[in-house]
């Protein structure tokens, strides 16, 4: 039975049901009874596997199709009326043409299946910054994930009332056919359509599709920003908590930084990190003239491999109950899960991510997919911030950009000012990871970590960043970090993880004028003595090396940036062109 009288909602659902032809329609009310019944049904069909309920209460395992394990950027489209509004970095198709093509794929796609109606909120229901969506899907796995990642149920429909202001999302698994897989955003219609996939980022439509692609477009029009950023609070020994937001590309360390546990030396003095969000931030200018960030999500869809008791104990703890694991190893001995980098004791009697028997002691092949994930409720996180549910978020002192660069980028540097900071974000580049289908380890330009997620022309997006700067009276300082510099054998030089605290301390001190810096061609760099190394195993010489800026490498970099910028033609803001010339000048 329909849970709303909202005619905009009901008419749209009728239309989608007429096209997809499900056997029945089930509204997700968010109740535990309903979810329990859905879990039982999904277990009975093998869609999910119930794990050891003593060791992992409320936890389940799911395996996606082998060809469907990551986001598909080449099949992701921004369909707005004018091609130039999608810009040179997005795939585009005329909306009418795309609707027609999709209609062919969706027609009858839910025959013999159930259509679930998921009313969900990005942000705390009823908060002035929350935005609502309805996802229609034929996958119980999607329902169970959306319930963890967003706020789902009747309360959302009550808050929406009879307003037509919601984001429409249609997902059908169809045949999981990679040749007919489409992830399509229609920003001008508040609509998302996804077909032929069952993998997270392609089908949990509240996440990348809504909270970044559609929301970035809304933000441009409404004067706010939707960014691929973690949000954390750094508590100092005086008990003050200062907040930062950081944009790193997929699988480049956001979840790890957001849940960081400071090294013993810091903990003893009273330092602590609080997690507000690990992937997405919505940022607005507050009445106090500061920039405020809120996390629209309600859970973590985190990378499993590499997560362990040492690298990220808070993430691991978050996954010990009410969590869905996707594409990890199934340990048959005790009905638990395992992944590469969890511990040095892989199970022998196990099933790999493809569903085949796997012996971790003898097999050379990986047992878990490199992009295997956990979906865990945010409230499970031992360091979740007491501001997590704050309807308007937290005030941001620092914005941090970063990526995987083996050589060029130093451990940390600060931009000269807001506009230069926008430039620093725009010239980000990073090695590709398993989070998206395609080659791994190839350096590509990924401005603000938004290349795959910006819902409109990236040139206009940069202009929006510049415009926002003029509206923020108390601007955050902007930084760039790189945890991934390597030696000539490819080993990481910086210990990373908890030791990144040392860099965070410097960043916050810079924001509050508590430490000075050295002015260099690319920005302000720390003095070697200003980064705490006690207990890190890193000596001053190595730190100095991590902070070097090689002019020869940067001159090569300039050429790459110029080529990238040239793609944008007239939409490249003059300010950024000017910043590039100035950098060129400073490098000599």
Q: Which of residues 254-283 bind Mn ion (CB under 5 A)?
A: 279
**Nearest-5° angle of CA 335, CA 361, CA 357?**
50
Give CA–CA dist 318/219, Å, rounded.
31
Q: Which of residues 210-269 bind ligand SPV (CB under 6 A)?
A: 250
Beta carbon of residue 496, minimum distance to ligand GTP (angstroms, whole number): 3
Q: What is the 3-state secondary structure (H, E, C) of 285-326?
A: ECCCCEEEEECCCCEEEEECCCCCCCCCHHHHHHCCCCCEEE
Give CA–CA dist 312/352, Å, rounded.
23
Nearer to ligand SPV, 38 or 209 (CB): 209
Tell me which of ligand GTP, Mn ion, ligand SPV, none is bound by residue 256, counting a contact when its beta carbon lies within the kind-specific cut-off of 5 to 8 angstroms: ligand GTP
Q: Where are the alpha helices (DSSP H) in 162-302?
A: 200-203, 215-222, 254-258, 264-269
Q: In DSSP terms, which residues pair with 326 in a beta bridge?
A: 62, 373
Please report whether residue 579 would count as binding ligand SPV according to CB under 6 A.
Answer: no
Q: Which of 79, 80, 252, 275 is catalytic?
A: 252
Nearer to ligand GTP, 141 or 484 (CB): 484
Nearer to ligand SPV, 16 or 435 (CB): 435
Q: Which of residues 470-499 bind ligand GTP (CB under 6 A)?
A: 483-484, 492, 496-497
Q: Which tokens in the block code for residue 111?
A: 């025959």
Nearer to ligand SPV, 208 or 502 (CB): 208
Kindly give, in sequence order, each residue whose CB lies less than 8 Å from that of residue 526, ignoring residues fewer than 6 positions away: 412, 506, 515, 517, 518, 547
Q: How many residues contact ligand GTP, by CB under 6 A?
A: 22
Give CA–CA dist 369/352, Å, rounded.
8
Q: In DSSP terms, which residues pair with 62 in a beta bridge?
A: 326
Q: How many residues contact ligand SPV, by CB under 6 A?
A: 9
Beta carbon of residue 339, minimum distance to ligand GTP (angstroms, whole number): 10
Among 42, 157, 246, 252, binds ligand GTP (CB under 6 A): 252
Q: Do residues 392 and 503 touch, judged by C-beta distance below 8 A? A: no
Among 208, 220, 284, 445, binds ligand SPV (CB under 6 A): 208
Q: Candidates 92-100, 251-259, 290-298, 453-461 — which segment interacts with ligand GTP by CB under 6 A?
A: 251-259
Tell me which of Mn ion, ligand GTP, ligand SPV, none is bound by residue 217, counting a contact when its beta carbon lies within the kind-specific cut-off of 5 to 8 angstroms: none
Quick check: is 252 catalytic?
yes
Q: Do residues 172 and 137 touch, judged by C-beta distance below 8 A? A: yes
Nearer to Mn ion, 105 or 437 (CB): 437
Please report whether residue 446 would count as binding Mn ion according to CB under 5 A.
Answer: no
Nearer to ligand GTP, 306 or 395 (CB): 306
Tell me which of ligand GTP, Mn ion, ligand SPV, none is bound by residue 207, counting a contact when its beta carbon lies within the kind-specific cut-off of 5 to 8 angstroms: ligand SPV
Please report whether residue 435 would count as binding ligand SPV according to CB under 6 A.
Answer: yes
Identify how many contiguous H helices and E strands the chain contains and give both numbers.
Answer: 17, 30
Tell me which of Mn ion, ligand SPV, ligand GTP, none is bound by residue 388, counting a contact when its beta carbon lies within the kind-specific cut-off of 5 to 8 angstroms: none
Please report whether residue 30 would count as binding ligand SPV according to CB under 6 A.
Answer: no
Beta carbon of residue 301, minimum distance to ligand SPV (angstroms, whole number): 5
Residue 565: closest CA among 584, 552, 586: 584
Containing 580, the helix (H) or strand (E) segment is helix 574-587
What is the separation of C-alpha 501 from the centre of its chain, rounded to a whole number of angstroms? 21
Give CA–CA dist 507/411, Å, rounded.
12
Q: Do residues 205 and 97 touch, judged by C-beta distance below 8 A? A: no
Residue 273: closest CA among 264, 289, 262: 262
Q: Which tokens in the block code for residue 562?
A: 């110029």
Q: Which of residues 155-174 bind ligand SPV (CB under 6 A)?
A: none
Q: Do residues 552 and 542 touch, judged by C-beta distance below 8 A? A: no
Beta carbon of residue 450, minimum distance to Mn ion (angstroms, whole number): 11
CB count within 10 Å of CB 128 equals 9
CB count within 10 Å of CB 50 equals 15
Beta carbon of residue 70, minimum distance to ligand SPV (angstroms, whole number): 7
Please report whether residue 500 would count as binding ligand GTP according to CB under 6 A.
Answer: yes
Please report whether residue 297 would count as binding ligand GTP according to CB under 6 A.
Answer: no
Please report whether residue 313 would count as binding ligand GTP according to CB under 6 A.
Answer: no
Beta carbon of residue 450, minimum distance to ligand GTP (angstroms, whole number): 12
Give CA–CA dist 569/581, Å, rounded.
16
Among 87, 253, 263, 573, binds ligand GTP (CB under 6 A): 253
Q: Which of residues 264-293 bind ligand SPV (CB under 6 A)?
A: 279
Please report whether residue 319 would count as binding ligand GTP according to CB under 6 A.
Answer: no
The residue with its CB nearest to ligand SPV is 201
Phi-psi region for residue 280, left (φ > 0), alpha (ψ -120 to 50) or beta?
Answer: beta
Q: For residue 12, how many C-alpha atoms fall within 13 Å in the half-sphere facing its CB?
A: 22
Beta carbon of residue 86, minimum distance to ligand GTP (angstroms, whole number): 23
Please report whether residue 303 would count as binding ligand GTP according to CB under 6 A.
Answer: yes
Q: Active-site positions?
A: 252
Residue ranges in contact with ligand SPV by CB under 6 A: 71, 200-201, 207-208, 250, 279, 301, 435
Residue ranges in contact with ligand GTP by CB under 6 A: 248, 250-256, 278-279, 302-303, 305-306, 311, 435, 483-484, 492, 496-497, 500
């Amino acid at each position: 039975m329909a849970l709303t009288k909202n005619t905009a909602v009901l008419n749209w659902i009728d239309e989608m049901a007429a096209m997809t032809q499900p056997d029945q329609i089930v509204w997700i009310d968010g109740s535990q009874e309903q979810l329990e019944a859905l879990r039982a049904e999904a277990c009975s069909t093998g869609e999910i596997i119930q794990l050891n309920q003593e060791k992992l209460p409320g936890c389940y395992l799911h395996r996606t199709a082998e060809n469907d394990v990551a986001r598909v950027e080449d099949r992701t489209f921004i369909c707005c009326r004018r091609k130039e509004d999608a810009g040179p970095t997005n795939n585009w198709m005329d909306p009418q043409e795309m609707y027609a093509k999709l209609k062919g794929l969706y027609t009858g796609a839910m025959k013999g299946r159930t259509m679930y109606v998921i009313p969900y909120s990005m942000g705390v229901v009823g908060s002035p910054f929350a935005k609502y969506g309805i996802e229609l899907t034929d996958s119980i796995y999607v329902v169970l994930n959306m319930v963890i990642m967003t706020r789902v149920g009747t309360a959302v429909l009550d808050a929406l009332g009879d307003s037509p202001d919601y984001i429409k999302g249609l997902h059908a698994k169809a045949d999981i056919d990679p040749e007919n897989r489409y992830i399509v955003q229609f920003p001008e219609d508040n609509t998302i359509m996804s077909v032929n996939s069952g993998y997270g980022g392609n089908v949990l439509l509240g996440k990348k599709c809504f909270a970044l692609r559609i929301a970035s477009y809304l933000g441009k029009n409404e004067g706010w920003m939707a960014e691929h950023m973690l949000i954390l609070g750094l508590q100092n020994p005086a008990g003050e908590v200062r907040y930062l937001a950081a944009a790193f590309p997929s699988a480049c360390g956001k979840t790890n930084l957001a849940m960081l546990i400071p090294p013993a030396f810091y903990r003893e003095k009273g330092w602590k990190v609080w997690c507000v969000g690990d992937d997405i931030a919505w940022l607005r200018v507050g009445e106090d003239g500061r920039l405020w960030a809120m996390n629209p999500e309600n859970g973590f869809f985190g990378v499993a491999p590499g997560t362990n008791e040492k690298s990220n104990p808070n993430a691991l703890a978050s996954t010990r109950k009410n969590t869905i694991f996707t594409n990890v190893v199934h340990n048959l001995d005790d009905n638990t899960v395992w992944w590469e980098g969890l511990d040095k004791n892989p199970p022998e009697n196990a099933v790999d991510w493809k569903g085949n028997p796997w012996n971790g002691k003898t097999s050379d092949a990986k047992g878990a997919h490199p992009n295997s994930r956990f979906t865990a409720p945010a409230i499970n996180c031992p360091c979740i911030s007491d501001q997590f549910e704050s309807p308007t978020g937290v005030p941001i002192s620092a914005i941090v950009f970063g990526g995987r660069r083996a050589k060029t980028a130093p451990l940390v540097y600060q931009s000269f000012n807001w506009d230069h900071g926008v430039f620093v974000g725009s010239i980000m580049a990073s090695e590709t990871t398993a989070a998206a289908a395609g080659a791994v380890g190839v350096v590509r330009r990924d401005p603000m970590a938004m290349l795959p997620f910006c819902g409109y022309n990236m040139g206009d997006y940069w202009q929006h960043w510049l415009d926002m700067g003029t509206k923020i009276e108390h601007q955050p300082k902007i930084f760039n970090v790189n945890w991934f510099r390597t030696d000539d054998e490819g080993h990481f030089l910086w210990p990373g993880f908890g030791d990144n605290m040392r860099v965070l301390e410097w960043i916050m001190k810079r924001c509050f004028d508590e430490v000075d810096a050295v002015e260099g061609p690319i920005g302000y760099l720390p003095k070697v003595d200003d980064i705490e190394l006690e207990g890190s195993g890193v000596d001053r010489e190595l730190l100095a090396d991590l902070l070097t800026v090689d002019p020869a490498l940067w001159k090569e970099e300039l050429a790459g940036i110029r080529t990238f910028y040239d793609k944008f033609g007239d939409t490249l803001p003059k300010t950024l062109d000017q910043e590039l010339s100035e950098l060129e000048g400073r490098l000599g």
